Amino acid sequence: PFQTLTAPAPFADETSCQCQAPHEKLTIAQARLGTPVDRPVRVYADGIFDLFHSGHARALMQAKTLFPNSYLLVGVCSDDLTHKFKGFTVMNETERYEALRHCRYVDEVIRDAPWTLTPEFLEKHKIDFVAHDDIPYSSAGSDDVYKHIKEAGMFVPTQRTEGISTSDIITRIVRDYDVYARRNLQRGYTAKELNVSFINEKKYRFQNQVDKMKEKVKNVEEKSKEFVNKVEEKSHDLIQKWEEKSREFIGNFLELFGPDGALKQMFQERSGRMLQAFSPRQSPTSSPTRGRSPSRSPSPPWVFNKASPPSSPKAASASLSSMSEGDEDEK
């Protein structure tokens, strides 16, 4: 049993029966309690196993776990027998054999299994019980090919997995045939390999080109949306920074040029200094005088008499000297 977890299951014709005691007939009750002899219970399950899927694996898991100690043999029918009694398969017999060998629940694979189980076949492989779903399987002119197995008390039923079967998978492929044909053409398969006519090939290739254009347009739209979003984010950041800078600029402008701004204060200070420079303080309006008549204000000594100007330079110097003497007298 541990070999199935580390290597593919062996074929029946490449190995010998692992029974260590004579094959004694067991009842289901004895098998459920444990075999009375030193050997596992040999359980057989057969089928076509085309397009091996989870439904197949679950059926084999049930067959493997029917009894505490079991050895699961799986029979796979050949292509000739399957095509004769059931129909065409997707996978050939070699592919189906290999699929079963790599299932973890399988201990041994029997190639070219018979369609109807005979006593000779059961004796050859020392089969204790046959596992299959309980639905009557009509084929090869019989209403139920497992009828004689059930009458012999060697049949153990398993449960089918709903929602999955080989027929369902094939139905999906047939339903979506155009999609799969177009996909395989795009991947490099020829029309001859796909059994596609010339017209359908051109139609599928044209549809592939249309899909590519749609994908490109979709990518461009997504990239443009990303670009627009980035531009909106950048513009939002720029507007926010511009508002902050504009507030700062307006505040600085008002602080400098406002009604109580620094420029006005500086201008007032400078204008006051200029006024002081151009308009000095005036002299006192009255000054003390000695020996002069109050009715007549004295004339400044430097005022010349326009009516009698000095006749000569000597006279002018004499007048200047007299002015200086007059100043000394005032002092």
pLDDT band at 307 (very low <50, low <70, confident <90, very high): very low
CB crowding 7-21: b at 16 or more within 10 Å, else e: eebbebeeeeeeeee
Residue 276 has pLDDT above 60, yes or no: yes
Q: Domain segments of the chain: what residues?
A: 28-158, 166-269
Instruction: Give Dmax over CA atoms of the chain in angstroms.
Output: 177
Mean pLDDT of the chain: 79
Residue 329 has pLDDT above 50, yes or no: no
Task: Find out if CATH 3.40.50.620 is the number for domain 28-158.
Answer: yes
Name the more confident of 103 and 21: 103
Above pLDDT 70, what percent of the chain? 76
Residue 240 has pLDDT above 70, yes or no: yes
**Which pLDDT belongs to residue 320?**
47
Residue 249 has pLDDT above 50, yes or no: yes
For the chain, state the CA radius of gyration: 60
Written as six digits, the tokens of 291 are 């020996």
What one-character-per-residue DSSP string does 246-309 give? HHHHHHHHHHHHSTT-HHHHHHHHHHHHHHHHHSPPPPPS----SS--TTSPPPPTT---SSS-
pLDDT band at 35 (very low <50, low <70, confident <90, very high): low
Eight-state DSSP code of residue 11: B
Q: Identify any residues that bridge with 44 across adjacent strands, giving them in sequence order.
A: 73, 130
pLDDT band at 221 (very low <50, low <70, confident <90, very high): confident
